[in-house]
Amino acid sequence: MNSRDIPDIVVGRLPIYLRALSRMALEGQQITSSKELGERLGISSAQIRKDLSHFGEFGKQGTGYQIHYLMEQLQKILRVEAEWPVALVGMGDLGRALGHYNGFANRGFRIVVIFDSDPSKIGETIPGTELRVMDAATMIEEIRARDLKVAMLAVPADKAQEVANKLVEAGILGILNYAPINLTIPKEVRVQYIDPVIHLQRMTFYLDGEQ
């Protein structure tokens, strides 16, 4: 099966299914149905069955899905059975929060290097980890040496494009960009954006009445 044949909007829902299944497993549940999963997620059960059918048969009519089995399958499909080592660029407040974040564990990602260009931050360690902030001037060689493919970009907007160019030069193929700016990036590199204001504005559009 070629990943290019799957609509990206379907791909985008798979991590949400995986997260909900993990939650159910954590709560001790062993079996679920597209109906139950759909109710948790506000997605129709037909949509869930259709999305999963792109990748195979994961449940039986009437008996539902084995949660652990379906989780394993989704992890394979999303290529997070093992952990991706990740580079983090930017050690401001957000970079610091990401460096501490324990929500990457068991979900396929581990930050292995952090870069910043601020001399007062270089050499700093992240409590509770073995991470030490490295000089951004060494970024390209350090990323190449580790053959990293995934990076998180948490630098100010006016530095983001320049850093992104270096990440691409270093061989990064997926960038999670927290800077509130659109990046110009070669087609073969994927970018995902996280900007809280974009999400907030998408909600206020619907809010009637006085501010």
**Window 51 to 110, contacts with a copy of itself (CB under 8 A):** 77-80, 82-84, 86, 92-94, 96-98, 100-101, 103-104, 107-109
Q: Using CB under 8 A as the criterion, what x/- string covers residues 114-143 for binding a copy of itself? A: ------------------------------
The answer to whether 151 and 175 are in contact (CB under 8 A) is yes
| Sign of the alpha-carbon dihedral angle for 66, 12, 97, 40 | negative
Total of residues contacting a copy of itself (CB under 8 A): 64
Question: Which helix or strand (DSSP H or E) is residue 197 part of?
Answer: helix 196-204
Degrees, nearest 5: CA angle 198-201-204: 155
d(CA 129, CA 12): 30
Residues that bind a copy of itself in the complex, under the rule CB under 8 A: 3, 8, 11-12, 14-16, 18-20, 23, 40-42, 77-80, 82-84, 86, 92-94, 96-98, 100-101, 103-104, 107-109, 149-150, 152, 157, 173-174, 176, 180-182, 184, 190, 192-207, 211
